[in-house]
């Protein structure tokens, strides 16, 4: 294969003129012949046994050319792009064959390539650091969440229901005095303050005691899903059977021993503080990275082909589908249950895809400007880490991910670290 010439025909579209030698092309033709001969019948020969020369004499010398070209196009175009210093983007390819025969092939291919990127002033990016302080209130709040997880509901008899309580009620909804479908239930446990019922409903249950029967007035929202109830003023007849409230366990040494590896409340609190401090540092680092990434997008100048965004949307959807499959759910089934269309799903991921593509382009350019290049040792270590994380043999990882792709990812990671280390904390 040889790149004869390259010519920019429009933004991010390049015409490559490629030559493939006769020996390579004839090998491809012969490979196609061996695949297809089994289904070809020629008078005088058993099915699948006709020589290639006989088939070509019967159907024309170029009978296998089109399929042979399809076989060798991808590799030939990829090699030509690499030779020309272009990085291909998965997109439509327009091919025009100028000649094809025993002496070889010459064809033109118009392909989409990654854009030229310009970026300056990427060192010294200013960011606003997050506070790393963990207060006593933070520790108490985290502990309270654990206490609530270990709480139990107890019946309250000596007071009115309050927001935060669980009220066990019967209710019947009336529109113009007539019960409407779906508006009736018995012994329903409603968490007051959860916002799970129509606005105003839960607040009007609060203030009543167990055993009371009363009526409340509410209005359905204008965007309510049931057409006949949109914006309608209705009444609910309520009977309050029981009021329950959360009873939290007492925070003492015995409780700490039951739910942790510690013996005292003080040791437990110290551990909670240490964990929160670690989480806060991780959050701060992630926030710094987000701020730096946003700034890189502002600094970068490039006309990015839409195909790059769409390809990344495809990648994100495939990651989501893999996540669903790990839970035993098929993506198409998930979409049917949720009423999600393919168009809506793609819209959901579009902005994230745009951000990821642009940040990666910026970092690739920075890696090139800084002379960052992953070593063979770096690539091997990455392979080993991936094999360990996926719990598979390293050979399987290498079969899926090329060394070039791994090196490119490592270069981007190193460029990001360079930019983050050079960033400056602002006010």
Q: Which long-range contacts (CB under 8 A, 24 or more apart) does 214-222 make?
A: 214/238, 214/240
Question: Longest Cα pair distance anywhere in the chain, in angstroms?
Answer: 102
What local confidence, expressed as pLDDT, does residue 45 receive? 87
What local confidence, expressed as pLDDT, does residue 322 receive? 87
Burial 5-21 (b: 16+ CB within 10 A, else e): ebeeeeebbbbbbbbbe
Distance, in Å, from the CA atom of 229 to the CA atom of 234, rounded to the nearest integer, reads 9
Query: Tens digit of pLDDT per residue, the chain (427 long)?
Result: 899 999 999 999 999 999 999 999 999 999 999 999 998 889 888 888 899 999 999 899 999 999 999 999 999 999 999 999 999 999 999 999 999 999 999 999 999 999 999 999 999 999 999 999 999 999 999 999 999 999 999 999 989 999 999 999 999 999 999 999 989 999 999 999 999 999 999 999 999 999 999 999 999 999 888 889 999 999 999 999 999 999 999 999 999 999 999 999 999 999 999 999 999 999 999 999 999 999 999 999 999 999 999 999 999 999 999 889 888 899 999 998 888 899 999 999 999 999 999 999 999 999 999 999 999 999 999 999 988 887 889 998 898 889 999 999 999 999 999 999 999 998 7
What local confidence, expressed as pLDDT, does residue 327 receive? 86
What local confidence, expressed as pLDDT, does residue 41 receive? 87
Nearest to 14 by CA among 96, 103, 93: 93
Q: What angle do CA 61, 65, 67 make, to 5 degrees?
A: 140
In this prediction the pTM is 0.77
Residue 280's CB is within 10 A of a number of other CB atoms, namely: 16
What local confidence, expressed as pLDDT, does residue 47 receive? 87
H/E run at residue 189: strand 178-191
Backbone phi, then psi, for 89, in 5-degree steps?
-115, 135
């Amino acid at each position: 294969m040889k790149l004869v010439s390259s010519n920019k025909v429009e933004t991010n579209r390049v015409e490559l003129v490629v030559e493939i030698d006769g020996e390579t092309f004839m090998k491809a033709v012969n490979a196609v012949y061996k695949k297809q001969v089994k289904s070809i019948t020629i008078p005088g020969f058993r099915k699948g046994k006709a020589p290639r020369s006989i088939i070509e004499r019967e159907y024309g010398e170029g009978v296998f050319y089109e399929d042979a070209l399809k076989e060798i196009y991808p590799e030939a175009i990829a090699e030509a792009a690499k030779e020309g210093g272009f990085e291909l983007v998965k997109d439509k390819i327009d091919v025009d064959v100028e000649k094809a025969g025993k002496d070889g092939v010459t064809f033109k291919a118009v392909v989409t390539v990654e854009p030229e990127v310009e970026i300056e002033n990427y060192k010294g990016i200013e960011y606003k650091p997050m506070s790393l302080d963990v207060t006593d209130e933070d520790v108490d709040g985290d502990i309270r969440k654990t206490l609530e997880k270990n709480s139990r509901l107890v019946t309250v008899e000596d007071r009115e229901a309050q927001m935060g309580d669980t009220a066990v009620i019967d209710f019947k909804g009336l529109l113009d005095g007539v019960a409407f479908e779906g508006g009736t239930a018995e012994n329903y446990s409603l968490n007051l303050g959860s916002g799970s019922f129509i606005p105003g409903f839960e607040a009007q249950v609060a203030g009543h005691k167990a055993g009371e029967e009363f009526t409340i007035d509410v209005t359905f929202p204008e965007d309510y899903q049931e057409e006949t109830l949109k914006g309608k003023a209705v009444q609910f007849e309520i009977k309050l059977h029981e009021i329950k409230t959360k009873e939290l366990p007492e925070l003492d040494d015995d409780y700490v021993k039951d739910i942790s590896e510690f013996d005292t409340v003080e040791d437990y609190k110290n551990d909670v503080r240490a964990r929160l401090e670690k989480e806060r540092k991780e959050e701060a680092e992630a926030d710094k990275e987000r701020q730096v990434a946003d700034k890189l997008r502002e600094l970068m100048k490039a006309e990015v082909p839409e195909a790059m965004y769409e390809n990344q949307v495809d990648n994100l959807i495939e990651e989501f589908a893999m996540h669903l499959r790990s839970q035993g759910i098929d993506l198409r089934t998930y979409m049917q249950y949720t009423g999600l269309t393919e168009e809506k799903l793609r819209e959901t991921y579009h902005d994230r895809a745009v951000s990821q593509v642009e940040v990666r382009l910026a970092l690739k350019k920075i890696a090139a400007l800084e002379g960052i290049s992953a070593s063979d040792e770096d690539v091997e270590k990455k392979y080993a880490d991936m094999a360990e994380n996926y719990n598979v043999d390293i050979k399987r990882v290498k079969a899926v991910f090329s060394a070039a792709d791994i090196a490119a990812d490592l270069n981007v990671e190193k460029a990001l670290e360079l930019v983050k280390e050079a960033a400056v904390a602002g006010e």
